[in-house]
Amino acid sequence: MNYKQAIQNPIFSVISEAARDLNVESYVIGGFVRDFILERGTPKDIDVVAVGSGIELAQSVAARLPGKPKVSVFKNYGTAMLKTDDLEVEFVGARRESYREDSRKPLVEDGTLEDDQNRRDFTINALALSLSKESFGDLLDPFDGFGDLKRKLIRTPLDADITYSDDPLRMMRAIRFATQLSFTIEDASLEAIERNKRRIGIISGERIVDELNKILMTPKPSVGFQLLHQTGLLALILPELTALQGIEEKEGQRHKDNFWHTLEVVDNIAQATDNLWLRWAALLHDIGKAPTKKFDKKIGWTFHSHEFVGSKMVSKLFKRLHMPLNEKMKFVQKMVLMSSRPIVLSQEIVTDSAVRRLVFDAGEYVEDLMTLCEADITTKNPKKFKRYHQNFAIVRQKIVEVEERDHVRNFQPPVSGEEIMQTFNLQPSKEIGMIKEAIKEAILEGEIPNEHEAAYAFMLDKGKKLGLIPAKDRP
């Protein structure tokens, strides 16, 4: 088969000419070829293999391009990369790899195109198109990767046990590709992942999280997490999640399986937002339920304070996996901590003060919180499902009305601590904090509007009750 139409971009002709002048064979390989055949759009990342020096080829190509783009060289890996227009092209010399048991970093030596295709993770990523003038666009497919694309199958080129043991990250990649492409992992390959699951221990948290993020950003992340669970990888990577699985029964009282519920919530939120960290919040929103589960003879199963416990667990999980310990983590923590608030609110009469407190506590993330809570509705009872969503619509409308009137989102006190100090001629003291807190509570309860004049009058009254005299009234 010939795929000249895949490589019509002028960059491929430049690479072909540069390779011919250097007397090396060159091929575009991997994801670019796979995605073109799958008609997934035109990829912006291009991998080029040279049977020779990939670095020399990159430098020769750059010298021929307008503006002579900079070549980034990575000598340790024998690779080079350049950017031109909106494309990112990586060059590597064809190589043969061997592995040590304690590392996924291979021992590398020069090799043939066949050696290079042998070292690829999956047959669908071993597809190559020739860039040589005589065979420009010819497909080189030694493992029937084209057939696997048609069969929607993830399969390793060589023995799956060796492929996964050599580089255990490939186990995560197999599951990620199956999730992204809606493919099936070959049975023998899936069994090999289960056999080699403990090898994931040599992979860094950053690499694992990168694959988890890609799974989370698919239209139906539960597919990937079910595969991670089925192969035993999930228990090693996110034991907080697998601890949620199972249903206990005591005295005829049962609780839902919070693991499978969580996967439903993640799928729900994937339909509503592309916010990666909100999807993480959905994945982790119930992790506090495993350590807080108790049975009360009067009311059945309880998970008291699971949101608080879960928010604390988030930081430990982020640290263990070397995830960002910044505003992104704090956002996930806040979502987990508040994940039940709108649900409770939607079950009761929605008062303005309750909505004000919700908006005050959630701040700029109140919309994200509502999205999370709507995704959390997984009941199969149509009447309950409809009632919950109708109540959430009421809460959302109340949020708009309260915010327009009271402006409590990202709340700033209408009377500052400095103004309180000046009014009563005070040094820093506990009375200032008491007055500020009283003003905030009065606004949230609707006793006074969120305005300076009303808050100032309230401050004077509160100060009087605390025995404070305004400086202007002193003799």
86-135 per-position pLDDT tens digit:
899 999 999 876 666 666 665 566 788 998 898 899 999 999 999 999 99
Residue with tokens 């998970």: 303
As a whole number of Å, the CA-based R_g of the chain is: 30
The mean pLDDT of 65-75, rounded to a whole number, is: 91
- Cα separation, 394 vs 399, in Å, equals 9
Decide if pLDDT at 296 tops 80: no
Decide if pLDDT at 76 tops 80: no
The mean pLDDT of 260-264, rounded to a whole number, is: 96
The mean pLDDT of 172-189, rounded to a whole number, is: 97
For 218, half-sphere exposure in the C-beta direction (CA atoms, 13 angstrom radius) is 20
Which residues are CB-neighbours of 121 under 8 A, at least 6 positions away?
156, 163, 167, 170, 173, 174
Predicted local distance difference test score (pLDDT) of residue 314: 97
Predicted local distance difference test score (pLDDT) of residue 226: 98
Its pTM stands at 0.87
Predicted local distance difference test score (pLDDT) of residue 347: 62
Query: pLDDT of 339-349, one tens digit each?
Result: 988 776 666 66
By C-alpha distance, which of 26, 165, 150, 175 is closest to 94?
26
Decide if pLDDT at 251 tops 60: no
Residue with tokens 């505003």: 327
- Cα separation, 128 vs 49, in Å, equals 9
The mean pLDDT of 333-360, rounded to a whole number, is: 82
4-151: CATH topology is: Beta Polymerase; domain 2 (3.30.460)
- Cα separation, 362 vs 437, in Å, equals 18
Share of the chain above pLDDT 70, in %: 94
- Burial state string for 178-196 with b = 16 or more CB within 10 A and e = fewer than 16: bbbbebebbeebbebbeeb
Which phi-psi region, left, alpha or beta, contains residue 43 (left: φ > 0; alpha: ψ -120 to 50)? Answer: beta
Q: How many CB atoms lie within 10 A of CB 159?
A: 12
Residue with tokens 């029964």: 249
Q: Residue type at 205? A: G
- 132 vs 300, higher pLDDT: 132
Query: pLDDT of 434-475, one tens digit each?
Result: 999 999 999 998 899 999 999 999 999 999 999 898 888 776
Predicted local distance difference test score (pLDDT) of residue 241: 96
Asked if 376 and 343 count as a contact pair (C-beta separation under 8 A), the reply is: yes
When mean pLDDT is compared over 69-78, 282-291, 376-385, 406-415, the highest value belongs to 282-291
End-to-end CA distance of the chain: 100
Asked if 380 and 290 count as a contact pair (C-beta separation under 8 A), the reply is: no
Which residues are CB-neighbours of 430 under 8 A, at least 6 positions away?
none
Across the beta sheet with 79-84, the strand order is 71-74, 79-84, 87-93, 45-51, 25-29, 128-130, 139-140
- Burial state string for 86-115 with b = 16 or more CB within 10 A and e = fewer than 16: eeebbbbbbbbbeeeeeebebebeebebee
- Cα separation, 341 vs 433, in Å, equals 27
Query: pLDDT of 188-225, one tens digit each?
Result: 999 999 999 999 999 999 999 999 999 999 999 999 99
The mean pLDDT of 42-63, rounded to a whole number, is: 93
The mean pLDDT of 11-26, rounded to a whole number, is: 95
By C-alpha distance, which of 239, 283, 280 is closest to 262?
283
- 179 vs 40, higher pLDDT: 179
128 forms bridges with which residues in the sheet? 29, 140
Predicted local distance difference test score (pLDDT) of residue 250: 65
Q: Which of these ranges, 102-106, 224-228, 351-355, has the smallest mean pLDDT?
A: 102-106
The dihedral built from the CA positions of residue 349, 351, 354 and 355, taken in this order, carries a sign that is: positive
Please state, rounded to an integer, the average pLDDT across all residues of the chain: 90
Give, for 300, the enclosing helix (H) or strand (E). Answer: strand 300-302
Decide if pLDDT at 252 tops 90: no
The mean pLDDT of 316-321, rounded to a whole number, is: 96
Locate 256 and state its tokens.
Answer: 């839902």
Q: Which of these ranges, 115-129, 241-255, 371-385, has the smallest mean pLDDT?
A: 241-255
Q: Residue type at 410? A: N
Decide if pLDDT at 249 tops 70: no
The mean pLDDT of 6-33, rounded to a whole number, is: 94
Domain residue spans of the chain: 4-151, 417-473
By C-alpha distance, which of 381, 394, 475, 402 is closest to 445?
402
Supply φ then ψ for residue 274, to 5 degrees.
-100, 10
Decide if pLDDT at 318 tops 80: yes
The dihedral built from the CA positions of residue 161, 163, 168 and 172, taken in this order, carries a sign that is: negative
Predicted local distance difference test score (pLDDT) of residue 335: 96
- 253 vs 33, higher pLDDT: 33
Q: Which of these ranges, 45-49, 103-107, 186-190, 322-326, has the smallest mean pLDDT?
A: 103-107
Q: Which of these ranges, 61-70, 114-123, 174-183, 252-261, has the smallest mean pLDDT?
A: 252-261
Q: Which of these ranges, 189-203, 247-261, 410-424, has the smallest mean pLDDT?
A: 247-261
Supply φ then ψ for residue 109, to 5 degrees.
-140, 160
Locate 122 and state its tokens.
Answer: 């999956």
Predicted local distance difference test score (pLDDT) of residue 143: 96
CA angle 27, 174, 121 (to 5 degrees): 35
- DSSP assignment string, 443-474: HHTTSS-SSHHHHHHHHHHHHHHTT---GGG-
Locate 406 and state its tokens.
Answer: 């009271």
The mean pLDDT of 166-183, rounded to a whole number, is: 96
3-class state of residue 256 by DSSP: coil
Locate 26 and state its tokens.
Answer: 């060159």
Predicted local distance difference test score (pLDDT) of residue 390: 86
Which residues are CB-neighbours of 66 under 8 A, at least 6 positions away?
none
